[in-house]
Copies of this chain bind each other. A is one copy, B any other.
Amino acid sequence: MALDPVPLADSKVTGGFWKPRQDTTRDVSIPATYAQLAGTGRIDAFKLAWRPGRPGVPQPHVFWDSDVAKWVETAAYSLVTKPDPALASQLDALVDSIVAAQQPDGYLNTHFTAVEPHMRFKNLRDWHEIYCFGHLAEAAVAHFQATGKRHFLDTMTRYADLLDKSFGPASEGKIPGYPGHPEAELALVKMYKATGEKIYLALAKFFVDERGQAPFYYETEAQQRGEPPRPPEPLDRVFARREYHQAHAPIVDTEEIVGHAVRAQYLYAGAADVAREANDAELLAALRKIWDNATLKKMYITGGMGARPDGEAFGRDYELPNETAYAETCAAIALCFWAHRMLNIEADARYADVMERALYNGVISGVSLSGDKFFYVNPLAANLHGKRTLERTTWFGCSCCPNNLTRIELSLGQYVYSTCEAAVYVHLFVEGEAKAKIGERSIMIRQKTVYPWEGKVVITLGMERETEFAVKVRMPGWCKSVAIGVNGTEMDAANVPLEKGYMVLSGAWNDGDVIELLFDMPVERVHAHPKVEADSCRVTLQRGPVVYCLEGVDNGPGLDGIVLPQKAKLLPAFEPGLLGGVVTLAGEALRQDSTGWEGALYATHGTRQQRVSVKAVPYFAWGNRTPREEMLVWIRETQ
């Protein structure tokens, strides 16, 4: 039985770890990213004023609309949980300008209206035309839900109707193509759910089902553009490879996740929506296999996805290099989208474990604590060997990540709870309050916690009268022991039923009932599967869901010379003044030095080691103190 997420409007973050982050997102990131959108010409692009050679009007890029759309979506999410008249009017003005850019036939895209109108729907493979539709559609749904105003959603339904007329089976005289960069699939399902219009679900299903079928549409399309037949596949033409776009095989025949990491996961998130709404068991079975491959063989411990810069792509199984990892911020976010959908279909905590892993590590590493600087890539070691130097920056030429971060941070509430008949699921431990439906009744559920810094979570239930239901609380995958109290009485955890990773607390609940959880949260030494060559003889530190790293500013340069003995004790301590308040881990380790290696590259004499103190900080907070800081997640280990 599938779960229904408690929507954002009913689930507010009120304190703890996430509230200050959301405040920063509202106060800093939203204005900072708007300024970048405006400064680069993305906002004015909807005036469609670009002409060849016209001064002062930058040429809209094929993906610009999506950047603006994600800002709109973020602003809408912000307004849902915190009214802000100034933001609301800024949003209204922007939405009006987007709506005004719609063409008489419903089409809406700045690049392909102002710059290359003759290329409309001519290159689905390489350009981001339908991807931009998807983001605008998501924005329109969010805007409608936040403001109750329909005009943007109506605009997008007209555009979606045009897509429906244009794309579909060749037998119906339509273009049998599908978006090069998936995104429209999940957006069309959102539109279907917002409007009840089944043709949007059908179009999403067509895009999902048609993908990877022979004859291969992108090659047909390239021929129609007059391009030479596709040559053999050298590495430098990665963008032309079928696998890059997951267009090499139908999803139902896919078992391994390959190609561009964001494209793949947006696709599978959309496919999960389609599988759920269309009751497609075969598609769902394929998604389970792909999920297992992705998370058991190709996921960084941070939830980072995509090992290879080349093609921003997944590597082979267990290919997880650290310093050269790509792990695009958007790919970790996409993993959350996909995980959230699988979680609500399957009601299995392992999806929530992955979502939590990504959220506390590889997602929020993408933004500075100040809220105005971003990482595009999130490797697990940085600036060690001068291979690639790295610091967060205010914007990117291809700037998908910043407003993907803001939208997930400000919509976090919707990931916390789900309901299913007479049960409420607690997926994440986030201080806040939510309203959930148990049958016809509404109950309130409040969490008080400083998780992930401590393992204590206090859940208070609110209701008008006694109600029979189950509270299903996720037992985190990282946790080996939990103490549970109900209204002050400790329960025997062994007697609490565990259902797909959820502790089932059933009963007749009353207003003010309190569930206390104390998750045992020691410092854990984590190893990688022995086939992960990059992590061999290495260990990383994790406490709760938070993965740690060493930084040069705490430990001096040459982090890869630090060796952690297996028995080294590491003690956690909350440091309120550090990095916005984090738990650090401190202990003693050994440090290799190069003494004795002068004049030698290979030798039989071994390497000297000295005792040193080490201090680890949460991975997500790295690179916030000094520029181009050295950083290392996987530390050498010795017996």
Taking Cβ atoms with an 8 Å cutoff, the residues of A that contact B are 236, 295-297, 299, 301, 316-319, 323, 384-387, 524-533, 536-538, 560-561, 592-594, 597, 599-607, 636-639
Contacts of A561 in B (CB 8 A): 530-531
How far is A593 from B529 in the complex, measured between Cα atoms in Å?
Answer: 10
Report the copy number of this chain in the oligomer: 2
Which of the residues B599, B600, B604 comes within 8 Å of A524, measured between beta carbons? Answer: B604
17 CB contacts below 8 A, A to B, read A296-B599, A297-B601, A316-B385, A317-B386, A319-B387, A323-B533, A384-B533, A525-B604, A527-B602, A527-B604, A530-B560, A530-B592, A530-B594, A536-B537, A536-B560, A537-B537, A537-B538
With the chains together, A299 CA to B524 CA distance in Å?
A: 38
| A529 near B560: Cβ-Cβ < 8 Å | no
A530, B317: Cα distance in complex, Å: 28
Interface hub of A531, A594, A601 (most chain B Cβ within 10 A): A601
Nearest CB of B to A361, in Å: 12
A529 touches B296 (CB 8 A): no
Known: A317-B386, A528-B601, A529-B597. 10 other contacts (CB 8 A): A296-B600, A296-B601, A301-B602, A385-B531, A527-B603, A527-B607, A529-B603, A530-B561, A537-B537, A537-B637
Question: Is the Cβ of A594 less than 8 Å from the Cβ of B385?
Answer: no
Cα A301 to Cα B601 with chains together (Å): 8
Known: A603-B527, A604-B526. A386 touches B316 (CB 8 A): yes
Q: List the B side residues contacting A533 at CB < 8 Å.
A: 323, 384-385, 560
Report A354 CB to chain B, min CB distance, Å: 10
Give every chain B residue within 8 A of A594 (Cβ-Cβ).
529-531
- Determine whether the beta carbon of A529 is less than 8 Å from that of B236: no
Distance in Å: Cβ of A635 to nearest Cβ of chain B: 11
Q: Can you list the 9 inter-chain pairs with the closest CB atoms, starting with the nearest?
A: A537-B537, A530-B592, A639-B639, A530-B607, A296-B601, A301-B602, A529-B597, A524-B604, A529-B601
Q: How far is the CA of A597 from the CA of B296 in the complex (A)?
A: 10
Inter-chain contacts of A301 with B (CB < 8 A): 601-602
* Chain B contacts for A385, CB-based, 8 A: 316-319, 531, 533
Q: Across the interface, do B602 and A526 meet the contact criterion of CB distance under 8 Å?
A: yes
Q: Report the bound CA distance from A384 to B528 in whole Å.
A: 17
**A533–B632 alpha-carbon span in the complex (Å):** 12
The answer to whether A529 and B602 have CB atoms under 8 Å apart is yes
Within the assembled complex, what's the spacing in Å between the Cα atoms of A446 and B606?
38
Q: Across the interface, which residues of B come within 8 angstroms of A605, CB to CB?
A: 527
Of A297, A385, A530, A592, the most chain B CB neighbours within 10 A belong to A530
Smallest CB gap from A607: residue in B: B530
- Say whether A528 contacts B602, CB under 8 Å: yes
Kindly identify which residue among B299, B316, B527, B637 contacts A387, using a CB–CB cutoff of 8 Å: B316
Please measure, in the bound complex, the distance between the C-alpha atom of A296 and the C-alpha atom of B528, giving whole angstroms. 32
Q: Which of A317, A533, A600, A606 has the most CB of B within 10 A?
A: A533
Are B639 and A606 neighbours in the complex by a CB distance under 8 Å? no
Q: Which residues on the B side are within 8 Å of A560 (C-beta)?
A: 530-531, 533, 536
- The CA-CA distance from A387 to B592 in the complex, in Å, is 30
Of chain B, the residue at the smallest CB distance from A531 is B594
B contact residues around A531 at 8 Å (CB)? 385, 560-561, 594
Separation of A530 and B531 alpha carbons in the complex (Å):
23
A295 to B600, CA, bound (A): 9
Q: Shortest Cβ distance from A396 into chain B, in angstroms? A: 16
A250 → B minimal CB distance (Å): 24
Roughly how many angstroms separate A384 CA and B319 CA in the complex, as a whole number?
11
Q: Closest B-chain residue to A604, C-beta based?
A: B524
Q: Which residues of chain B come closer than 8 Å to A323, judged between CB atoms?
A: 533
Residue of B nearest to A599 (CB): B296
B295 contacts A536, C-beta separation under 8 Å: no
C-alpha gap A341/B323 in the complex (Å)? 38
Set of chain B residues within 8 Å of A607, measured between Cβ atoms: 527, 530
Cβ of A529: which chain B residues have Cβ within 8 Å of it? 594, 597, 600-603
CB distance B601 to A295 under 8 Å? yes
A532 to B603, CA, bound (A): 12
A85 to chain B, nearest CB (A): 46
**Which of B299, B536, B538, B599 makes the CB contact (< 8 A) with A601?**
B299
Closest chain-B Cβ to A151's Cβ sits at a distance in Å of 43
Min CB–CB distance A147 → chain B (angstroms)? 42
Which residues on B sit within 8 Å (CB–CB) of A384? 533
Q: Which of B236, B527, B604 is in CB contact (< 8 Å) with A236? A: B236
Closest to A525 in B: B604
A357 to chain B, nearest CB (A): 9
Which residues of chain B are within 8 angstroms of A236 by Cβ–Cβ distance? 236
